[in-house]
Structure 1
Amino acid sequence: MAERLTPGDQAPDFILQDKDGKEVRLQDFRGRNTIVYFYPAASTPGCTKQACDFRDSLASLQGAGYEVLGISPDSAKALAKFADTEGLTFPLLSDEDHSVAEDYAAWGEKKNYGKTYMGLIRSTIVVDPEGKVALAQYNVRATGHVAKLRKDLKLDQ
């Protein structure tokens, strides 16, 4: 399992398919600040809340110079349905083998109702224009996360 990323680390590059099957590379976002957030499953209550918070903040985030990428272990087909149902206009990327989540330390041991299992750890990594980690947050809460992220990025001043 990868070590958790910290500010100053080089963000692992990746190539993933979006909801339409088009390849998206992190490298395509060089020169811009990019929020890469990992969520466990499309169309579940917490993930829907978080995605809709990003959707509702997208214009102001982009206005402040930030792009948003959502990554989950869902198939491209599930992501397409999720995006259509919720009106999500930022890229949703499919990481079915969770290799990118592993590279970002967003895949690991979880506990729920006394059971331990491997799964996606809700995480957000902000990548600066040079491809370095500017901010790394792990085990984030779905509700209120975008507001906290905006505060941490000093966007609400």
Structure 2
Amino acid sequence: MATQLQLGDAAPDFTGTVTDGATVSLAAYRGRKLVLYFYPMDDTPGCTRQACSLRDTHAAIRARGAEILGVSAQDADSHRLFSDKYRLDFPLLADGGLAVAKAYGVAGSGIGGLLRQAAGVAERVTFLIDEAGKIAAIIRDPDCSDHGAEVLALL
């Protein structure tokens, strides 16, 4: 069973490929706040509402010193199509083996988690990581349509 991260914990490091093919890591965000949001799948109704809500509040989120990084199991090509279709202005990280989701404890546990992992989808959870790389807030059940406002309220 994966251990759930708690407020104040060090955010697990990660490295992966994002929408434009670049490689990013948690270390690249050191000194800035990061909105790291895990979502199940590109171009599905809930995930689309969530991504568009974050897109629509991205300027305000940035004005509060934070960057956004979405994470799901689809590959960079899927992320690129999703980003282009909805004009997302933040990167999406390809987590095909769910390594990042597992490190953050959002790949699921128990029978449901095994089914999620077999299907290649993570839970919908958002982590706000502070400038020092610590977990500052966790949104375990985000409101997809109003997720940007939820994030802004915590920054």
Q: Secondary structure at the match of 1:108?
A: coil
Q: What fraction of aligned residue pairs are identical, expressed as a percent?
A: 39
Give the one of 111, 114, 117 matched to 2:115. Answer: 117
- Name the counterpart of 1:46: 46
- Name the counterpart of 2:64: 64
Task: Write the mapping of 1:81-100 to structure 2, written as runs, cut at 5 A.
Answer: 81-100=81-100
- Name the counterpart of 1:145: 147
Provide the aligned C-alpha RMSD in A: 1.8
* Alignment-mate amino acid for residue 90 of structure 1: F
Tell me the alpha carbon deviations over residues 110-130 of structure 1, each in whole angstroms, 9 at most, x when there is no partner: 899xxx822411000011001
CA contact (8 A) 2:79 2:92 kept: yes
> Which one has the bigger helix percentage?
2
Unaligned runs of 5+ in 2: none
Cα distance in 2, alignment partners of residues 45 and 111 from structure 1: 25
Cα distance in 2, alignment partners of residues 126 and 46 from structure 1: 20
> Which one has the bigger strand percentage?
1
Q: How many residues align?
A: 150
CA contact (8 A) 1:106 1:138 kept: no
Normalised by the size of structure 1, how large is the TM-score? 0.89
4+ aligned runs moved over 3 Å, structure 1: 109-112
Normalised by the size of structure 2, how large is the TM-score? 0.90
Range with greater deviation from structure 2 (48-57 or 142-151): 142-151
